[in-house]
Structure 1
Amino acid sequence: MEYTHLGRSGLSVSRLCLGTMNFGSLTPAAEAHAIMDHAHELGMNFFDTANTYGRAQSPPGQVAKNDQSHAGWTEEIIGDWLAQGGGRRERTVLATKLYGDMTSWPNDGKLSALNIRRACDASLRRLRTDYIDVYQMHHVDRATPWDEIWQAMQVLVTQGKVLYVGSSNFAGWDIARACETARARDFTGLVSEQSLYNLMTRAIELEVLPAARAYGVGVIPWSPLDGGLLGGVLKSEREGRRRLAGRSKQQVESHREEIQAYEDLCDKLGEEPASVALAWLLHVDGVTAPIIGPRTLAQLDSAQRALQVTLDEDVLARLDEIFPGHKPAPEDYAW
């Protein structure tokens, strides 16, 4: 396993981050525990979750059957795993998030000082730990002043309940404003930003990625395979291992030519498409660790191959031809 610092912080994290959104709703608790144990065996120490994870979700074409689904269930599964001891908590850099509504009652969501305090304490109870390594805002809250947000976060840091603060789904402007208002309070501010980023979806190259680099904020890409479109979807379709329907089918049909060219390039390289997609992200300056969300042990093992894949300049140029990216703004659309 390879490690790097999370943004400008001194915190060392694995170059692949274990995403846990499937735990509970799609992956049973026992299998989720086995995946986390195996992640440690592979050297992965960076785990990501959120307080809203655990609500029912279904694979394409299937109906969720789990009657235990509820917001917070994924954190509970992780908490049960951590409570087994054996160095599990000590070896894990644990990141969770707040923002989404946990109930329909007022103040059970967003980033008010009240919800930040309550949400943190609730996550600590579910995770069965006394601190969160990286506490992330799942979305920007345009209705709450930054002074209020940072005051609440500073209290959590002073209490030892939170060590670092991160963001998710922020615009470049949001990152800049968050960092500058934190600086005015002599507070560390953001050390990470989770953004949608992959070969097919590269909008963060306009402003988010440049802002993150400028402020020393580590980028943690989510959906690195673009919902499976970069994971060999056409090959799986031909071999009868995946049946496309609904939105997935529409997306494939809209991008079939590019996806086919991409899979042909991966065949030429002798690598699986998923490995190349992850390896490409690892080549991007400013990217800390893509989030992988394995539902099985086999998927976790296969993701490790990306760490050994080297993409030369010719291959990187060809990937840019297939999936054109962006220059930083404003040069991308002006002079």
Structure 2
Amino acid sequence: MEYVKFGRTGMEVSRLVLGCMSFGDASRGDHAWTLDEAASREIIKQALEAGINFLDTANAYSDGTSEEIIGRAIKDYARRDEIVLATKVFMRMHAGPNGAGLSRKAIFAEIDNSLRRLGTDYVDLYQIHRWDFDTPIEETLEALHDVVKAGKARYIGASSMATWQFAKAVYTSRLNGWTPFVSMQNHLNLLYREEEREMLPFCRDQELAVIPWSPLARGRLTRAWDETTSRLETDKIGRSLYVESDAQIVERVGAIAQARGIPRAQVALAWLLQKPGVTGPIIGATRAQHLVDAVAALSVKLTDEEIKDLEAPYTPHEVSGITVIR
């Protein structure tokens, strides 16, 4: 396993992040394809044994059951101080007023709820899951600062928003002397590269860590375009993210994988790992082979010609995964 500094911080993280949206009670939340606790624990154990020290979840994943599973697994399989544990806040957690968003009230309630489910006194990275148009950013940032000062989080990060929104948050924190952002978790893969326009250059300029979600495009980059899976058939969000023209890129991934004699997943992940400014992709593993391929991808170095070949068919996409305007 390779380890790098997390942006401009002194914290060391594995170059692969274990994404934990795949873990949880399938009867709760919007993900019918999640693994139950027994299967989830096997994946978590395998990841830790492979040297992955960074786990990312969210309070909303499977209605909090993802956090519960992770908390119990960490207690059994690792020392807490060896793990970089990240979670998020914003999505709706209960009906009625104050059940979602980034108000001071919501943040204070949800950090305590997350810590209780995770069975820990602190998280290493606390991330705002989206931009909240209904709460002044100053209120959100001061609340996050107070969460850090209370010892409940070590660092703060953000996920999936427009660059102007993230820049506003970054500079507002600095102007007020509040805890600075250290990372961006965004949507980036061979099929969706809109983040290359502004977000990636901004993060590189500001020395902010980048941990992309969906590095394999919900599995689209791991198989032929016309192949389907049960997850693809039930994943409403996933079906809306990619378009028919992406099939050309998928075909080129397959051609390079065949020429090298390696799985497609390794080619797609190698491309992302070689992208300047990317700290490490978030791997949403549901089978042991997913982690095997991810670790192997660390040793795959694509040539300049292969990278050009993979990138050439790309066409601009509608912005997805964020809310730019209300």
Same fold, TM exceeding 0.5? Answer: yes
Does the aligned pair in 2 maintain the 1:100–1:110 contact within 8 Å?
yes
Q: Aligned to 2:137, which of 146, 167, 186?
A: 146
Q: Aligned to 1:112, which of 103, 115, 123?
A: 103
1:244 to partner: Cα distance? 7.7
Does the aligned pair in 2 maintain the 1:262–1:322 contact within 8 Å?
no
Aligned residue for 1:291?
Answer: 282
1:215-241 C-alpha deviation (Å, 9 max, x unpaired): 22111111111111111234x84xx98
Aligned residue for 1:230?
Answer: 221
Identity of aligned residues (%): 42
Structure 1: runs of 5 or more not aligned: 55-70, 327-335
Does the aligned pair in 1 maintain the 2:252–2:310 contact within 8 Å?
no
> Aligned-residue CA RMSD in angstroms?
2.3
What is the CA–CA distance in structure 2 between the aligned matches of 1:97 and 1:252, rounded to whole Å?
Answer: 28
Aligned residue for 1:75?
Answer: 67
Compared CA separation, residues 115 and 306, structure 1 to 2 (3 A):
same
1:142 to partner: Cα distance? 2.0
What is the CA–CA distance in structure 2 between the aligned matches of 1:245 and 1:297, rounded to whole Å?
Answer: 22
1:134 to partner: Cα distance? 0.1
What is the CA–CA distance in structure 2 between the aligned matches of 1:323 and 1:270, rounded to whole Å?
Answer: 24
Does the aligned pair in 2 maintain the 1:27–1:296 contact within 8 Å?
no
Aligned residue for 1:39?
Answer: 47
1:151 to partner: Cα distance? 1.2
What is the CA–CA distance in structure 2 between the aligned matches of 1:245 and 1:87, rounded to whole Å?
Answer: 35
Compared CA separation, residues 267 and 106, structure 1 to 2 (3 A):
same
1:317 to partner: Cα distance? 1.5
Amino acid at match of 1:304: V
1:243 to partner: Cα distance? 11
Q: Aligned to 2:310, which of 292, 295, 319?
A: 319
What is the CA–CA distance in structure 2 between the aligned matches of 1:258 and 1:95, rounded to whole Å?
Answer: 32
1:1-335 residue pairs with structure 2 within 5 A?
1-24=1-24, 25=26, 26-54=34-62, 71-84=63-76, 87-234=78-225, 237=227, 253-323=244-314
1:171-224 C-alpha deviation (Å, 9 max, x unpaired): 111121111111112234111111110011000111111111122211111111
- TM-score, normalized by length of structure 1? 0.85
What is the CA–CA distance in structure 1 between the aligned matches of 2:231 and 2:35, rounded to whole Å?
Answer: 20
What is the CA–CA distance in structure 2 between the aligned matches of 1:105 and 1:320, rounded to whole Å?
Answer: 45
1:255-303 C-alpha deviation (Å, 9 max, x unpaired): 3333223311221232221111111111111111100111122222222
What is the CA–CA distance in structure 2 between the aligned matches of 1:169 and 1:30, rounded to whole Å?
Answer: 30
- TM-score, normalized by length of structure 2? 0.87
- How many residues end up aligned between the 2 structures? 306
List, as ranges, runs of 4+ consecutive aligned residues in structure 1 with deviation greater than 4 Å: 240-254
Aligned residue for 1:330?
Answer: none
Structure 2: runs of 5 or more not aligned: 27-33, 318-326
Amino acid at match of 2:112: D
**Local SS of the residue matching 2:55:** strand
